[in-house]
Amino acid sequence: MGIEVRGINKSFGATPVLRDVSVDVASGSLTALLGPSGGGKSTLLRVIAGLEQPDTGTVVISGTDATRLSPQRRNVGFVFQHYAAFKHMTVFDNVAFGLQIRKRPKDEIRRRVGELLELVHLDQFHKRYPAQLSGGQRQRMALARALAVEPEVLLLDEPFGALDAQVRKELRAWLRRLHDEVHVTTVFVTHDQEEAIEVADTIVVLAGGEVKQTGSPHEVYDNPADPFVMRFLGPVTEIDGQLVRPHDIELSTTPEPGTTPAVIDRVVRLGFEVRIEMRLRDGSDHEAWAQVTRGIVESLQLEPGGTVHVRPSPAARSLAVT
Amino acid sequence: MALSSTSTGSGLAPGPVRAVRRRKNPGTMLGLGTALIYLSLIVLIPLAAVVWKSTGQGPGFFWKAVTTPDAWASLQLTIGASVVVALVNLVMGTVIAWVLVRDRFPGKAVVDSLIDLPFALPTIVAGLVLLALYGSDSPLGVNLAYTRAGVLVALLFVTLPFVVRTVQPVLLELDRDMEQAAASLGAAPWTVFRRIILPNLLPAMVSGTALAFTRSIAEFGSTVLISGNLPFKTQVAAVQIFGQIENDNAVGAAAVSTVLLVVALAVLFALDLIQRWGARRG
Amino acid sequence: MAKYGLRTVALVYLLFLLVLPVGLIGWRTFEHGAGPFFDALSSHSALHAFQVTFTVALWAVALNTVFGIGAAILLVRHSFPGKRLLGALIDLPLAVSPVVVGLALILVYGRFAPFGGWLENHGIQVIFSTPGMVLATVFVSLPLVVRAIVPVLEEMGDDQEQAAHTLGANRWQAFRRITVPGIRSALAYGIVLCLARALGEYGAVAVVSGRLVDQTQTLTLYVEERFQNFEQPAAYAAATALAVIAIVSLLLTKLLRPKDGDR
């Protein structure tokens, strides 16, 4: 096991931030800690790194109990949300820092930093200062700096949180590829479920200081443990007291077993996909929506004012609203 | 898939507010202990000794020492002069800050640098410099030596930067859009100043004025030469204390010192309250 | 126009309060050339005053720099009960009259005070001697280094230090390689402020030094003594020297002052 977290409790003053949190991170995996702001995910990451001391519980990294080890002895690579670039050092010196602290020979440092800067595509920028880099470049420098010390585990706190949307998308794909190349056990924190699903092979959902669910992206998306996880991982709508993904709704022009009648309010065409917004006629007058293809709209001739009959697809997982 | 439709915030959401972490380690206690010993040996115990010296024999003694004719006169002069100095600074400091921020003229940068000179110049040099221009052989023919006006000029000199340097940054940060909005709503320049600018500057003006006042009541070096040290006329409190120390009247010196300390602390405390009140208003 | 009116008022005020007096002293000093200026400053007493001034100032700056760095880190990076109070205590010296500082030190460290007497019996004379002058100077310039560093430490945050820890740096390494370079210019700014204040201190030193000519006489005391003894050229020369020091340190602080948008 790469990281074993057992029974962590942590409070800031009187506010509990982590409650009896246990997480296993497999060696060589790429795990996302996903959850809303204030859910405790960053704190958990900092506990793993040793930047916070847990009130109770243990952290085992690569088979060694690290709970009482200071950050500098844990051999973790930590990438901070706002990069924590050493402003007074060049890119080269930033990346070389950990190796210099470890008193490695000069030529080894030069070689290793060169390799890493190549890996993160910053080899031409080694003489620049962080202020002369873009946000994405700074982030990659921070990553190279963390990787330079050949950490047991790589921890990233909202690694793309401070970047604009386009750069985020690029860096996500890049992080996935990088992980395939270096295979270091990696944990990253994010509040963006799309990011977690796209990048991670395991997702741990944290909310209110508790682990809500752990599993592959496919598992947590399709088999959410509770309504909270379901809502957090993707769009939901409510039909007949059930939470359903809008793309898991079957529509028909005639009543079928288990269907509910609904009046169409709006038909929103978003390219290939179409949003059908409707009002349920089951006595509740609830608003609901379905995500369908253009083909279905055309074959069923769906138009505002028309009536449809809807039900959750039998193959899909739905959850009772509670 | 349109997953982002229920995303809790796509990149714009702020990260979790990091709680203040507590480092309760031996290092904190060691550092705190060292700092307190340093402060105690140099500042706290000596100041406590002053207060003890003046009040240790009871309030009657203290009162008697403070109300000896020359001590009382010096305190009256100090407080009165400092009030005048603070008010002049309030007006002139604001005007100078205004000119430095809103006006443009050649040599402005030099004038701006000059403002800090009274902070940098040793007080005795300030006194000497003023006496050269406003003394008995004044090239201007203005002799303020040994007069209360001379004391005022010396106090104005050393307190000049306070209001300027507190008002200036606020004025720089002040959103010009606000004034333009007011003007577009039909406000005349004076109304814009009174209703928009002044309320925003007021906290800084008050705090600069209070700092100028506390500096003024404590001032010694710049007044020594120009005041001529005439009891009942030009002798400010600090000079009076100095004389008492020279005459080995430690109790008298300590009593006037205690009054100065208490007045300064009261002003600073009130200022802190006002600032916190202002901070709450945003 | 109101604009020109305000400008005139401000400039005339500054002219008569600041520019003319300071300019006049420079002119008085140099009206017969630079020769008399240097002659006056190279008298035995003047040279001795320079030496005393710098000795006292350097000690005070060294002490306050060490204290300033430590206290600033304590105030920004650590949390403990009474933190606000500590901050207020550090600022306290700014509210105390220099003469009161001198009196306060005499009451504790003077020969007739219990502690001062005890020290004197052990061969340490504080008042009327260098240690007392150092104490007085430390007192009046105490907050300057702390207050210069605190905002920069706050703005810097502890992310970089934590990053250094995760990269294997111990506390000392993180302090020396990350914290100190990060606060370098603010530290230099604070040291210059402190040095300028220390070199120019008059009131507190006047009280605790005993003003012994050629022994405990600093430059500021020298200015006053010469002026009272009607040796105006010597007083003007020393005053001009102090003014030059003040102006140089003023220019240095302009260069070093941490600016917004520095990053």
**Amino acid B17: pLDDT:** 35
| Residues of chain A neighbouring C263 (CB-CB closer than 8 A) | 87, 131
Tens digits of residue pLDDT in B65-82: 999 999 999 999 999 999
* Residue of chain A whose Cα is closest to the Cα of C172: A101
- Whether residue C204 is predicted with pLDDT greater than 90 in this model: the reply is yes
Rounded to a whole number, what is the distance in Å from the CA of B21 to chain A's nearest CA?
7
Contact C160 A74 (CB under 8 A): no
Rounded to a whole number, what is the distance in Å from the CA of C83 to chain B's nearest CA?
10
| Residues of chain A neighbouring C178 (CB-CB closer than 8 A) | 86
Cβ proximity of A80 and A117 under 8 Å? no
Contact B23 C78 (CB under 8 A): yes
B95 and B189 in a common domain: yes
Question: Which of C100, C227, C236, C249 best probes binding to B when mutated, by most B CB atoms within 10 angstroms?
Answer: C100
Residue C259 pLDDT level (bands cut at 50, 70, 90): low
Amino acid residing at C84: R
**Amino acid B282: pLDDT:** 53
Tens digits of residue pLDDT in A25-58: 999 999 999 999 888 999 999 999 999 999 999 9
Q: Which domain holds residue B31?
A: 1-55
* Residue of chain B whose Cα is closest to the Cα of C200: B122
B32 and B133 in a common domain: no
3-state secondary structure (DSSP) of residue B2: coil
Question: Which of A18, A81, A192, A272 best probes binding to B when mutated, by most B CB atoms within 10 angstroms?
Answer: A192
Contact B157 C18 (CB under 8 A): yes
Contact C167 A98 (CB under 8 A): yes
Per-range mean pLDDT, top range of A155-159, B212-216, C169-173: B212-216
How many of the other CB atoms lie within 10 Å of CB of A92?
19
Which ranges constitute the DSSP H helices of chain C? 2-14, 20-30, 34-41, 44-77, 83-91, 98-109, 114-121, 130-156, 159-166, 171-174, 180-200, 203-209, 219-228, 232-256
Subunit partners of chain C (3 or more CB pairs within 8 A): A, B
Q: Which of residues 213-242 of B touch C (CB under 8 A)?
A: 214, 217-221, 224-225, 237-239, 241-242
Q: Average pLDDT for residues C195-224, to the nearest whole number?
A: 93
How many Cα atoms are found within 13 Å in the side-chain-facing hemisphere of B205?
A: 19
**Amino acid A282: pLDDT:** 82
* Residue of chain A whose Cα is closest to the Cα of C171: A72
Contact B42 C28 (CB under 8 A): no
Contact A72 C184 (CB under 8 A): no
Tens digits of residue pLDDT in B102-132: 999 999 999 998 999 999 999 999 999 999 9
**Amino acid B21: pLDDT:** 45
Least confident of A140-149, B184-193, C44-53, C214-223: B184-193
Conformation bin of residue B174: beta by default, left when phi > 0, alpha when psi is -120 to 50: beta
d(CA A184, CA A119): 14
Percent of chain A with pLDDT over 90: 62
Cβ proximity of C152 and C258 under 8 Å? yes
B156 and B40 in a common domain: no
Closest CA to A40 of A19, A70, A69: A19
Residue B18 pLDDT level (bands cut at 50, 70, 90): very low
Rounded to a whole number, what is the distance in Å from the CA of C60 to chain A's nearest CA?
29
B128 and B197 in a common domain: yes
Cβ proximity of C90 and C107 under 8 Å? no
**Amino acid B164: pLDDT:** 96
Closest CA to C101 of C229, C180, C197: C197
Q: Average pLDDT for residues C171-182, to the nearest whole number?
A: 93
d(CA C25, CA C22): 5
Residue B9 pLDDT level (bands cut at 50, 70, 90): very low
Q: For the domain made up of C37-105+136-262, give the CATH fold.
A: MetI-like fold (1.10.3720)
Residue C11 pLDDT level (bands cut at 50, 70, 90): very high
Subunit partners of chain B (3 or more CB pairs within 8 A): A, C
Cβ proximity of B185 and B66 under 8 Å? no
Residue B59 burial (C-beta neighbours within 10 Å; 0-12, 13-18, 19+): exposed
- Whether residue C153 is predicted with pLDDT greater than 80 in this model: the reply is yes
Looking up residue B238, the CATH number of its domain turns out to be: 1.10.3720.10
Terminal-residue alpha carbon distance, chain B: 44
Residue ranges per structural domain of chain C: 37-105+136-262
Rounded to a whole number, what is the distance in Å from the CA of C219 to chain B's nearest CA?
10
How many Cα atoms are found within 13 Å in the side-chain-facing hemisphere of C86?
A: 23
Tens digits of residue pLDDT in C50-91: 999 999 999 999 999 999 999 999 999 998 898 989 999 999
Contact C98 B129 (CB under 8 A): no
B141 and B70 in a common domain: yes
Contact B21 A194 (CB under 8 A): no
How many Cα atoms are found within 13 Å in the side-chain-facing hemisphere of B49?
A: 23
Question: Which of C155, C162, C167 best probes binding to A when mutated, by most A CB atoms within 10 angstroms?
Answer: C167
Q: Does B251 touch chain C (CB under 8 A)?
A: no
How many of the other CB atoms lie within 10 Å of CB of C23?
14
**Amino acid B281: pLDDT:** 63
**Amino acid A174: pLDDT:** 85
Contact C21 B261 (CB under 8 A): no
Interface residues from chain B to A (CB-CB < 8 Å): 1-11, 13-22
Tens digits of residue pLDDT in A104-140: 999 999 999 999 999 889 999 999 999 999 988 998 9
User: Residue C261: which residues within 8 A CB-CB, separation 6 or more?
Assistant: none
Percent of chain B with pLDDT over 70: 90
Cβ-based contacts under 8 A for chains A and B: 65
Question: Which of C79, C156, C165, C166 best probes binding to A when mutated, by most A CB atoms within 10 angstroms?
Answer: C166
Nearest to A165 among B2, B10, B13 (CB): B10
**Amino acid C149: pLDDT:** 94
Contact A72 C263 (CB under 8 A): no
Nearest-Å Rg of the Cα atoms of chain C is 22
| Residues of chain B neighbouring A191 (CB-CB closer than 8 A) | 8-9, 13, 15
Q: What is the DSSP letter of B194?
A: I
C192, two tokens: 């210059």
- Partnered with residue A3 across adjacent β-strands are A25, A61
State the total domains in chain B: 2
Contact C98 B257 (CB under 8 A): no
B188 and B148 in a common domain: yes
Tens digits of residue pLDDT in A206-244: 999 999 999 999 999 989 999 999 999 989 998 888 888
Contact A71 C162 (CB under 8 A): yes
B129, two tokens: 């410099």
Contact A235 B15 (CB under 8 A): no
B244 and B205 in a common domain: yes
Q: Average pLDDT for residues A298-314, to the nearest whole number?
A: 89
B133 and B208 in a common domain: yes
Contact A194 B7 (CB under 8 A): yes
pLDDT mean across residues, chain B: 87
The more confidently predicted of residues A285 and B280 is A285
Q: Average pLDDT for residues A78-82, to the nearest whole number?
A: 90
**Amino acid B272: pLDDT:** 87
B69 and B11 in a common domain: no
B192 and B131 in a common domain: yes
B233, two tokens: 């006329």
B136 and B30 in a common domain: no
Contacts of range B197-204, beta carbons closer than 8 Å, 24 or more positions apart: B200/B170, B200/B174, B201/B94, B201/B167, B201/B170, B201/B171, B201/B174, B203/B170, B203/B274, B203/B275, B203/B278, B204/B166, B204/B167, B204/B169, B204/B170
Contact A88 C167 (CB under 8 A): no
B31 and B65 in a common domain: no
**Amino acid C258: pLDDT:** 60
Percent of chain C with pLDDT over 90: 75
Nearest to B14 among A37, A193, A236 (CB): A37
Residue B136 pLDDT level (bands cut at 50, 70, 90): confident
